[in-house]
Structure 1
Amino acid sequence: MSGLVLRLTDVERVYRAGEVSVRALAGISLNVRAGELVAVMGPSGSGKSTLLSIAGGLDTPTAGSVEVEGVELGGLGPTEVAHLRRDRIGYVFQDYNLVTDLTAAENVALPLELGGTGTRAARKAAVSALDEVGLSTVADRFPDQLSGGQQQRVAIARALVGQRRLVLADEPTGALDSQTSIAVLRVLRARIDAGAAGVLVTHEARYAGWADRTIFLRDGRLVDATSERDDPQHLLSESS
């Protein structure tokens, strides 16, 4: 299908510990197109983070299939999956995951350099990505010299640098104040509008409002969805 970046088809994920089985996802199907941001909401333990990990190839489904730009991840070896994640998929996590002994620019440039880009070209792209999130002036500072909001924006720059076609964000505003959260979401929205596809996990209906549509998970199942014309607040009232 034209413009389709992410396709999940009947995805299930079962975790087993001895004789105990926990079904984290049950029959999830989801398509996300270029230029589209999908918010994922639901109570704790509903499968939101598991969905994001499977969509990005960090975890594998027990059943079903995952495709990124028409490439089925289940048909790739570990090295090929790692290369696809590095080159096409950007991750933004609540805990930043920055390398503490690298500067902001070096953190952002790291995936490019791992992919074979020269140091000078990678730094130029990194500084450009930092400028996009309003942080070009802190390019040479280390993470412990940055505020939490600045660290999160560095993480977003790292997720967006290069030709990332799929951006996955897991509670990227969870530790931020409202003003910084809006700045983070504005950057994410701009990249989606420029042609990437995005999935945003959030507990906040006001932040889900930045998405084109919202899906709601409960007990690993897709139980509701809204379009951009709907108010995702009703999902919270229905789940209470």
Structure 2
Amino acid sequence: MTDAAASSAPSQPVLHLDTVTRVHGEGETEVQALKAVTFAAHAGELVAVMGPSGSGKSTLLTLAGGLDAPTSGTVSVEGVDLAGLGQKGRARMRRTSIGYVFQDFNLIPALTAVENVALPLELDGVGGRVARERATAALAEVGIADLADRFPDNMSGGQQQRVAIARAVVGERRLILADEPTGALDTETGEEILRLLRARCDAGAAGVLVTHEARHAAWADRVVFLRDGVIVDETGTDGVEALVVDSGATR
């Protein structure tokens, strides 16, 4: 391959789902949450996933994060098939390479903000002092370093979600997965959360944002539409710009 051809060749995606199917239940209760879905997200790219309730959006995200396994097909992160890692290997991948932002925050009430953010680092063997330093830096990145010693119950919803994002990006996370991260937030705080996700992707991470609102999807580089477990459409840069205009969102 020539140097020119090599430079123009597409890079390996950070996240790749290859003909992934996920079936829940058996017989009459069987439900196909995803049907032979192929999907990818590259470094520096934020991809929004939209679709009606029950379309498979959250299933796609749980499979991407190694929280569930496909019935068939492969899910790879940075070229590594998650199925081949085993349960412990997938847990380590989530601690080191995959950040997951949940709609309901999933913070540990008994831990302070900095302790919540430092926890995945400490579980991965990082020393307490270094883990706290990195956690404090992540809190500063999301603008709440001054809340490091505050407990979740003493924070607003927006502040808790910022802690959750700091936990998702601390360390060398290459893939950020966000499941309706603004669902419980007011409009202004929600826009700030999306701005933070966008900035992290601009810094080199790959991001996948599940949302049902066009104004939130307008922050993405691409929008993928799911219906009944199948990708039915995809909008590139031009389509995203149209979402910006239609929803009045700003990037």
Smaller-chain TM-score bracket: over 0.9
CA contact (8 A) 1:38 1:214 kept: yes
**Structure 1 residue 101 corresponds to structure 2 residue 110:** yes
1:54 aligns with 2:60: no
TM alignment of 1:1-240, pairs within 5 A = 2-17=11-26, 19-230=28-239, 231-232=242-243
Q: Distance in 2 between matches of 1:12 and 1:4?
A: 19
State the superposition RMSD in angstroms: 1.7
* In 1, Cα distance between equivalents of 2:237 and 2:110: 41
Contact 2:18 2:73 in 1 (8 A): yes
- Please tell me whether the aligned partners of residues 40 and 200 of structure 1 are also in contact (alpha carbons under 8 angstroms): yes
Structure 2 runs not aligned, ≥5 long:
1-9, 246-251
Give structure 1 stretches of 5+ with no counterpart: 235-240
Work out whether residues 22 and 32 of structure 2, in 8 Å CA contact, stay in contact via their aligned partners in 1: yes
Letter in 1 for 2:135: A
Deviations 1:188-224 (A, max 9, x none): 1111011100000001100100000000000000001
Counterparts of 2:161 and 2:27 in 1: how far apart (Å)? 38
Q: TM-score, normalised by structure 1?
A: 0.95
1:73, CA displacement in angstroms?
Answer: 1.0
Runs of 4+ in 1 over 2 A off after TM superposition: 231-234
Q: CA deviation at 1:149?
A: 0.5
Which AA in structure 1 matches 2:67? Answer: L
> How far apart, in 1, do the equivalents of 2:79 and 2:12 lie?
10
- Deviation per residue, 1:145-194 (Å, 9 max, x gap): 00000000100000000000000000000011111011101111111011
Q: Distance in 2 between matches of 1:147 and 1:43?
A: 29
CA drift at 1:2: 2.3
Question: Amino acid of the residue matched to residue 151 of structure 1?
Answer: Q
**Counterpart residue number, 1:238:** none
Matches of 2:123 and 2:201, distance apart in 1: 24
SS where residue 229 of structure 1 aligns?
helix
Q: What is the TM-score of this pair, normalised by structure 2?
A: 0.91
